[in-house]
Structure 1
Amino acid sequence: MTVNHTPARSQTGSVALIRNWPVTFLSAGLLPLLLALGFWQLDRADEKAQILATIDARLSAQPKNPSELTAVEPFIPVRLMGFYTGELFYLDNRTRDGQVGYEVLQVFVSGGKRWLVNRGWVPAGEDRAQVPAVAWPLAAKWITGFLHPADAEGPAAPMDMEFETGAGVEPERLQRIQAVAADLLDRLELEQPDWTIRLSADSDTALRTGWQFVNGEPARHRGYAFQWFAMAAALCILWLIAASNIPAVLKKNNYKRGNGS
């Protein structure tokens, strides 16, 4: 009596394609996670690109006097004439190209209205107890820049220390601004206490600007996405090698075809 074992061999062959089930289950769980992280980074890149496009569109508009705006919005370009006062503030722990320094905020008076202007960045000196001296013109000046929320500069905390600029002015050094502090805002009597004016690089009273509009450029998120997808691909290759017999089966089938069997 002849017994046909072909189905059994076929079933055994299909099961034998996987030789390490724990690694297979682990890979099956990790692969969707890696792919999801990659697509999430691509979504983040698109989101940042849209934000930057909106900012570029706003900054390309003609600057206006902020007092004439019907709606105050971030990144609206402004231009106004006036003069700086000696009310000077140093926003601490701000970096440019990895170097620690300060962003300099100064009150600017235009048409009898007071604005808090972020003039840009200066590097910190070797002696952290002494902030760098910053000059400003005494005559009236035109300034150009754009509106920026004060709370985006960070919350306020004048430090309990005295600092010297070496120019006869004793500024306050702030860790953050969060609409500056309530008592400081009352003292400054600003026209728009919730907003600052960040100077443009071409404004002649600007320090080093280099404003970062978003936290992370789209290209960086695309790079992260590529890394996640590369890890997913590497996981598939490692699973094929470490947990399956597929390479061996394919090699065997190719050998049989090559020998005409």
Structure 2
Amino acid sequence: MTPEISSSRAKNASVALIHNWPLTLLSGALLPLLVALGIWQIQRGGEKAAIEATINQRLSSQPVSPQNLDQLRRYTPLRLSGYYTGDYRLLDNRTRNGRVGYELLQVFVSDGQRWLINRGWLPAPGERSRLPEVTWPRAAKIITGFLYPVSATETPGAAHGQRIQQLDRQIAVSLDLAQLQWTVRLSADSDTALVTDWQLLNSRPQRHYAYAAQWFAMAAALVLLWLFAATRIVQLSRRNNDNNNDNRGTPS
């Protein structure tokens, strides 16, 4: 067989290998996208893992007085000594285990400074027109918690009324707080804490890794679909196997 004939047959075979070009082009466009989405989810998972490690590191440290800190940072554990006042707000539309309720934000005076303490969640009464009963100790207390930021936005009219939809700077100003940009979320072991169960991350790293696995699985499924629906690889493989079996059965 001449080289020209061999080259021509190889070219024809490669062209005949793909019989569905629209599906091939579509698969070629979708495959990089699916792989890129999987890689992006892995990167997001790594970012969330780094944030989670930072949170755990800060929360595991000993709580200190704010006066002993050079800089206030998110999730820094604090210890405050003082007393609660009757100034409080109820942060609306907060749920725990499927139940609707509020988060109680109450002013705590420590060393002459007013701090806004998130004491946790309490259930809403059956009627929307009623607010839950709020109690607090009258004696001086030592509380522990960690710093959590106040939203920098301002909602018109939000500073009026005990039921609020969002804690923002305007409400912090109306309460005359020492640190307008910070609240303190109580630790679960504080005796004035309600139901805490704080959700510090909107999604865990494992969720992003699971999403990445799904995207890569879809990419693998797309490759298999292309092989079976757009090419003749399966038919050619079967034909080669049949030819090899026939050759083995032919006496020399």
2:88 maps to which residue? 88
C-alpha displacement of 1:185:
3.4
- Aligned residue for 2:165? 175
Q: For 1:119 and 1:95, how far apart are their aligned partners in 2?
A: 15
CA contact (8 A) 1:105 1:118 kept: yes
CA RMSD of aligned residues (A): 2.1
Cα pair distance change 1:48/1:186, threshold 3 Å: closer
Deviations 1:200-250 (A, max 9, x none): 111111111111112210011011111101111111111111111111111
Equivalent in the alignment of 2:109:
109
| TM-fit CA distance, 1:79 | 0.8
Q: Aligned equivalents of 1:53 and 1:9: distance in 2?
A: 60
Conserved in 2, the CA contact under 8 Å of 1:156 and 1:175? no
Unaligned 5+ residue runs, structure 1?
A: 162-170
Q: Does 1:256 align with 2:243?
A: yes
Q: Which residue of 1 aligns with 2:100?
A: 100
Note the C-alpha offset of 1:151.
1.5
Alpha-carbon distance in 2 for matches of 1:113, 1:93: 29
Q: How does 1:22-171 map to 2 (within 5 A)?
A: 22-151=22-151, 156=155
- 1:186–1:51 Cα change, 3 Å: closer
Is the Cα–Cα contact under 8 Å of residues 157 and 176 in structure 1 kept in the other structure?
no
Question: Offset at 1:77?
Answer: 0.4
Match of 2:8 in 1: 8
Give the equivalent residue in structure 2 for 1:18. 18
Q: Does 1:219 align with 2:206?
A: yes
Query: Does the residue aligned with 2:247 lie in a helix, a strand or coil?
Result: coil
Where 1:27 maps in the other structure, the secondary structure is: helix
Q: Which residue of 2 aligns with 1:228?
A: 215
Matched-pair contact (CA < 8 Å) for 2:89–2:104? yes
What SS is found at the alignment partner of 1:72? Answer: coil
Identity rate, percent? 53
Equivalent position amino acid for 1:204 in 2:
D
TM-score by length of 1: 0.87
1:247 paired with 2:212, answer: no
Q: CA deviation at 1:186?
A: 3.7
Question: What is the aligned length?
Answer: 246
Q: Which residue of 2 aligns with 1:164?
A: none
**Contact in 2 for aligned 1:35/1:229 (Cα 8 Å):** yes
Identify the residue that residue 187 of structure 1 maps to in structure 2. Answer: 174
In structure 2, the partner of 1:167 is none
Contact 1:156–1:174 (8 Å) recurs in 2: no
Query: Residue type of the partner of 1:174?
Result: I
